[in-house]
Amino acid sequence: MDPTAGEERGGTAEPLLSRRSLILGSVAAGAIVVGSASNARAFTYELRSQAEHDALPITWGYPFDSPADRRLGVDGYPGPTYSGHIGVDFFTVPRVGTRVLAVANGTVSQIGDDGEVGRGVFVVVQHAAGVRSEYLHLERGSIAVKVGQPVSRWTPLGRTGWTGDVRPKEPLSGHLHLAIFSGPHRTGVVWNPVWLVADAPTPSGTIPEPTPTNYEDDMAYPFRVDNKHLFLVSPGFIKHFSDSGPADLTRNIVASNDEWISLGSADFLKQLDSFGVPRNMVDLTVGRVFDVSAGQMVVGGMWSWAREAQQNTRAILAALNSRP
């Protein structure tokens, strides 16, 4: 995760909806954007056309030995993303410990460890034409290269991990955040890794299969709190279940886990923070969620930024329509 803002767009895209979006009826407004960002919003970084991507004098390779699941992409380019996200998230099997490969010839220019914030363990490789690639959230202790070392396409750099700003903070969330830049960080050019490496060959010469568009299905997490309250949580969204039957059915359709994640109240509230769900939307004493439609805490209630924004819009329109 790498929140920032930006300056100009490089194209538009039609919104993409997964079955999770349809079933839950919620997109986390202000946190998650389905499709590219609005034309009304500016960027601090520059984007480039697909033709300019194709013209780069670099031979690209896939960052893994075998196909990985591709999730959120760069804010401003076509596809699912969220505000300020300036790379592409790849999820492998296994999530932690999969070899990460250099995507092109170059020289290792930086290796670092931000701890459990920001990039976590990372490697930066400088390529031709002023382009560099950054590999984030790597497994601690897995780095296989040194600063100044020349690397070839597919040189092993490290292994996937869940260091840095990874949410929820658990191995299941482990992934590679791959970013490709030119110029100053955050204010230079941000290239779209999907257009550069998603269809590039693996070391064996195979071309990865396209990633299914219902990537969002693994972004919902089922929690059992204090061994009695059942919640389904995703970015900017929370749903309480008063009955285990519907809860299990919904979990099997949309959640990343086949089992409930058991937590105490304090740890669950920390998870809500990481998902962007306000703590005051949940009552853990009896198990309720603030339901926007009802305007109060409700057993079995559902809250999201999208529903709140929709309710506010309705109120504004109603006020306007009532004016003489």
- For the whole prediction, is pTM greater than 0.85? no
Mean residue pLDDT of the chain comes to 79
More confidently predicted of 250 and 282:
282
CB-based burial label for 30 (10 Å; 0-12, 13-18, 19+):
middle
Please answer whether residues 234 and 215 qualify as being in contact, where contact means their C-beta atoms are separated by less than 8 angstroms. no
Percent of the chain topping pLDDT 70? 75
Choose between 214 and 152: higher pLDDT.
152
- Read off the pLDDT of each residue in 263-289 and give the average, rounded to a whole number: 87
Give the DSSP H/E element, type plus range, for residue 263: strand 261-263
Contact criterion met (CB below 8 Å) for 203 and 124: no
Query: How many Å apart are CA 278 and CA 272, to the nearest integer?
Result: 7
Domain boundaries, the chain: 19-197, 220-321
Does residue 180 surpass a pLDDT of 70?
yes
Measure the CA–CA gap between 223 and 264, rounded to whole angstroms.
10
Looking at per-residue confidence, does 205 or 9 come out higher?
205
With beta carbons less than 8 A apart as the criterion, state whether 31 and 84 touch: no
Percent of the chain with pLDDT over 90: 44
- Fold of the domain spanning 19-197: Glucose Permease (Domain IIA) (2.70.70)
Distance CA 246, CA 239 (A): 12
Nearest to 36 by CA among 12, 3, 70: 12
Q: Tell me, what's the pLDDT at 257?
A: 52
Question: Token digits for 177?
Answer: 């955040």
In this predicted model, which residue has the larger pLDDT, 153 or 8? Answer: 153
pLDDT at 215 over 60: no
What is the DSSP code (8-state) at residue 316?
Answer: H
Nearest of 208, 190, 191 to residue 199 by alpha carbon: 208
Q: Distance between CA atoms of 157 and 198, rounded to whole angstroms?
A: 18
